[in-house]
Amino acid sequence: MSGSAIYPGSFDPVTLGHVDIIERAAALFDRLTVAVVGNPSKAPMFDAAERVALLTGELEGVTCRDGGPVEVIAFDGLLVDLCRERATLTIVKGLRDAADLAIEQRMAQMNRQIGDVETVFLATAPCYSHLASSFVREIARFGGRLDGSVSPTVAAALLARVAEDL
């Protein structure tokens, strides 16, 4: 595969599952942009700038097919508009299970309808298919184990945020 792609998500916070998808997508596309979407219907634990900073740290040294770094941006609006601005025809998504497929298939169809953008799905690695940022936030709040779900840097950021909120 070649050309550019956009991998969107909330990334609140980035998990090892996200990083796996990004590394694999970067190996497929010449250029990859990770778009951190500030979803107004959710109250995030980390603001968009913090999520971008955590992702940027996780992706240090990850390169796309053209040898350049993975770009990480904060974004608000319709994904198809970002695709048009970037002259990108492809969205990348990770699929964990059938529940993801049910949602993602419809989003892919909608994005194709309103923006002529195709969505490429990468099957989540089995060791990460149970991970979710929402689980990670809850586990952090109650002092559970975060290893295997997020990097030590992200775990430290989670614990610091939980301590601030006490």
Q: Rule CB under 6 A: choose which of 110, 120, 159, 162 binds ligand PNS.
A: 110
Angle, helix 152-165 to helix 48-58, in steps of 10 degrees: 160
Closest listed residue to residue 45, CA positions, set 133, 166, 131: 133
Tell me if 10 contacts ligand PNS by CB under 6 A.
Answer: yes
Angle, helix 152-165 to helix 133-141, in steps of 10 degrees: 50
Enumerate residues 6+ apart whose C-beta is below 8 A from 160.
none
CA distance linking residue 76 with residue 52, whole number of Å: 13
Stretch that binds ligand PNS, among 3-11, 25-33, 66-74, 158-166 (CB under 6 A): 3-11
* Residues annotated as catalytic (active site), given as ranges: 18, 42, 96, 133
| Least distance (Å) between residue 8 CB and ligand PNS | 4
Q: Looking at residues 113 to 152 of the shown chain, list those that interact with ligand PNS (rule: CB under 6 A).
A: none
Tell me if 37 contacts ligand PNS by CB under 6 A.
Answer: yes
Using CB under 6 A as the criterion, which residues of the chain lie in contact with ligand PNS when the complex forms?
8-10, 37, 39, 78-79, 107, 110-111
